[in-house]
């Protein structure tokens, strides 16, 4: 765990040493209007915080992530926590001292934690359970983009009759640490070698169709615009790299290994290479038409003009694994 920054406050990984400051915050009777109870003693709270420093359940299957909220001027005001389960699921909770209600602090703290869960721990699905009478917490979750679970989901998770189950799907990040975290959450191991992340297409439909061609075995190459890579400070692919291919939602979909890389002008791409790339009817004519349209969109995005001389990066790869069930045949 690491310190997480939000507007006006920081989230510090909770440790036993925080107990003395947090005891007064958690002794506030207003925060227990609907459920739970204040700590019985400072020593008991310190022991509980020490237990949570393990960051894992006794069986090792759950990650226990707890942060205390500290204002910029130094005052501790509450906590946020998440229990992370295998498969990218997390259940969250939070407490904020009543003296700081109504300032947007809880929303900013929880949002910062959700970003950290997605980026560092591969979390994609988040749940929160609250008492139906707790309208303050309900408004907070609504503002954070949570939605009420279906009656069937309430029953499946055995939610109490006086409680609500709220759910949210987190947006994915295509950064290497975030994608690796999601693979760990899915118990997917990569083969040895340097790793990079990339995707195909600039729309959901194009991404899905190109990934399907790879799974079918028709597409064994991909072409990028060197100018776009340079504009985004993106390193060129290298022979031998393991590539995690993400879909349009930045979810890991495929794992490939790069076997050939060549940079050449768009106008010098050969019919042999177009056939390996495998799009449309596999002809050079189709390749040129489809890629001219795609690279023209890329050029507009970065302020360049397409031309026959524009440099393209041609990569040939082998498919190693299909990660996402949605892309399996």
Model pLDDT for residues 82-100, shown as the tens digit of each residue: 999 887 889 999 999 999 9
pLDDT value at 206 more than 80: yes
Q: Which domains does the chain have, with CATH numbers?
A: 4-169 (3.40.630.30), 176-327 (3.10.400.10)
Model pLDDT for residues 265-310, shown as the tens digit of each residue: 999 999 999 999 999 999 999 999 999 999 999 999 889 999 999 9
Model pLDDT for residues 214-264, shown as the tens digit of each residue: 999 999 999 999 999 998 888 899 999 999 999 888 889 999 999 999 999
Q: In the beta sheet, which residues pair with residue 63? A: 56, 84
Cβ atoms of 301 and 229 closer than 8 Å: no
Burial of 189 (0-12, 13-18, 19+ CB in 10 A): exposed
Q: In the beta sheet, which residues pair with residue 119? A: none
The DSSP annotation for 159-198 comes to --TTEEEEEEEPPP--SHHHHHHHHHHTTPPPPSS-EEEE
């Amino acid at each position: 765990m690491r310190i997480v920054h939000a507007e006006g406050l920081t989230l510090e990984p909770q440790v036993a040493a925080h107990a003395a400051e947090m005891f007064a915050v958690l002794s506030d009777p207003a925060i227990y209007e609907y459920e739970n109870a204040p700590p019985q003693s400072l020593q008991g709270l310190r022991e509980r915080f020490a237990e949570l420093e393990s960051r894992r359940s006794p069986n090792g299957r759950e990650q226990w992530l707890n942060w205390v909220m500290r204002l910029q001027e130094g005052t501790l005001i509450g906590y946020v926590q998440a229990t992370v389960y295998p498969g990218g699921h997390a259940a969250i909770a939070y407490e904020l001292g009543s003296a700081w209600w109504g300032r947007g602090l809880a929303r900013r703290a929880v949002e910062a934690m959700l970003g950290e869960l997605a980026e560092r721990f591969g979390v994609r699905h988040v749940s929160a359970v609250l008492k139906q009478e707790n309208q303050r917490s309900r408004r907070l979750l609504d503002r954070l983009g949570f939605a009420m679970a279906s009656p069937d989901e309430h029953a499946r998770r055995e939610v109490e009759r006086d409680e609500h189950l709220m759910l949210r799907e987190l947006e994915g990040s295509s950064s290497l640490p975030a994608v690796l975290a999601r693979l760990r959450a899915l118990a997917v191991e990569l083969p040895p070698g340097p790793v990079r992340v990339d995707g195909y297409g600039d729309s959901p439909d194009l991404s899905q169709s190109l990934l399907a061609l790879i799974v079918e075995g028709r597409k064994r190459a991909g072409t990028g615009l060197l100018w776009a890579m340079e504009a985004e400070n993106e390193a060129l692919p290298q022979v031998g790299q393991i590539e995690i291919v993400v879909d349009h939602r930045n979810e890991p979909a495929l794992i490939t290994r790069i076997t050939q890389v060549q940079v050449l002008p768009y106008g010098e791409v050969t019919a042999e290479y177009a056939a390996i790339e495998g799009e449309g009817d596999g002809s050079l004519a189709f390749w040129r038409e489809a890629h001219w349209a795609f690279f023209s969109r890329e050029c507009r995005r970065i302020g360049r003009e397409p031309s026959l001389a524009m440099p393209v990066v041609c990569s040939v790869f082998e498919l190693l694994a299909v990660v996402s069930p949605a892309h399996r045949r």
